[in-house]
Amino acid sequence: MSTKEQNQGLFSDLNLYIIFGVTLTSVMGVSSIAPAFPTIARSLDVTSAEIGLLITFFTLPGILFTPIFGILADRYNRKVILIPSLFLFGIAGTACAFATSFDQLLLFRAFQGVGSAALGVLNLTLIGDLYSGNRRASVMGYNGSVLSIGTAMYPAIGGALAILGWNYPFFLTLLAIPVGLFALFFLNQESEKNGLGINLYLKEVKTALMSKMVLGLFIGMFLTFIILYGGYITFFTILLDEKFEKSSLAIGIILSGSSLVTAITSAQLGKLTKRFSEKNLISAAAILYTVIFLMIPMVDNIWYFILPISLFGVAQGMNIPSILNLLTGYAPKEFRAAFLIRQLDGDACRTGVRSLRSGIGLPSY
């Protein structure tokens, strides 16, 4: 089957669009409302320091509920957790728009955080459940592309809605409800129950997590986020501010350009994995990271940043989906959700912090 025929088969699959919907919902909770934070602070008479509690109350429930939801999704069924999570996310998020006090808003945000807790991992779990081989690599790449587009677009959409009022960005979360309805009626997910005893289940998860391959991938993901948040986001934004005196808007546009390149590259993962292994793609990304950070300090013209920004987008588009594809494929179905949660449960907090800072005009470090 040609790549074109394979893609046509994928794009006629409703499961794919449900997964995309879950992915877009999972990154909506912070990035879409961050531009409204200054307006919220003024409207509800809270300080800039207190407004950060909107992030805290949203992310903290995940620490408690994400592992629980992962175990339940493995023990029973993905839909048992996914669909109520989407409905709770949408209902609680919309309720935020009608809050009459900051305390009430924080309460609704906490409920929304419970709904969000498992979404960022269940989408990857579903990819592993429903697809295999090169088709899984293709879907993982397309999903990474959708994720990059969402994280790049939500701040702009939220900022535009915030012009109408502080509460309008919260109405975006209503989109989670039709996603939940589509998942309820059209998601092709088997309703089999994991028959492993809880002690054996936890033992199997621990054994899988401690394998050399998984530890290597975990280290790779950890280093990737150090490069992204510690090196690229921090160093690059400070350089643009201090050396080139660029505004927060200009910096945001430049970083969005990198996200666009990441989205384009991620969408090609299926084609790339037909020619190169995921390990080779990860190694190539590591080389590109090195070249980029050697190149950036020598740039003395803002237009010359096009090259390192583009290369960084390419590296991210090859690296992260490749790591996630290997992790997803490695985990047996009977404990895939818990396995991925253990690997990825810190990403949402990091993304939330970055979105908050970029959304209110602060350096994203």
pLDDT digits (tens, 9 = 90+) for 2-42: 555 556 577 788 999 999 999 999 989 887 887 888 889 89
pLDDT for position 236:
75
Cβ atoms of residues 222 and 275 within 8 Å: no
How many angstroms separate the CA atoms of 241 and 264, rounded?
A: 27
Mean residue pLDDT of the chain comes to 83
Q: Which position has the token pair 């996630």?
A: 324
pLDDT in tens, 67-123: 888 888 888 889 999 999 999 999 999 999 999 999 999 999 999 999 999 898 899
Question: In this structure, what token pair is assigned to residue 70?
Answer: 């992962």
Q: Is the pLDDT at 286 greater than 90, yes or no?
A: yes
Using CA atoms, how far residue 212 sits from 113, 208, 242, 319, 341, in Å, is 33, 9, 43, 19, 18
Q: Is the pLDDT of residue 293 over 60?
A: yes
The span from the CA of 332 to the CA of 205, in Å, is: 9
Tell whether the torsion through CA atoms of 345, 41, 97 and 32 is positive or negative: negative
Per residue in 39-68, pLDDT tens? 898 999 998 778 889 988 998 898 888 888
- Smallest CA-to-CA distance from 54 within 112, 1, 5 is with 112
Q: pLDDT for 188-239, tens place per residue?
A: 876 555 555 666 666 666 666 677 888 888 888 888 878 876 677 667 777 7
> Within its chain, how far is the Cα of 231 from the centroid?
19
Residue 247 carries which DSSP code?
-
Provide the pLDDT for residue 138: 93
Give dist(CA 185, CA 177) in Å, integer: 13
CA dihedral 112, 117, 121, 125 (to 10 degrees): -90
Least confident of 8-12, 24-28, 278-282, 340-344: 340-344
Q: Lowest mean pLDDT: which of 135-139, 152-156, 339-343?
A: 339-343
Q: Collapsing DSSP states into helix, strand and coil, what is residue 131?
A: coil
pLDDT at 289 over 90: yes
Work out the percent of the chain whose per-residue pLDDT is above 90: 41
| 65 in Cβ contact with 54 (< 8 Å) | no
Q: Are 77 and 129 in contact (CB under 8 A)?
A: no
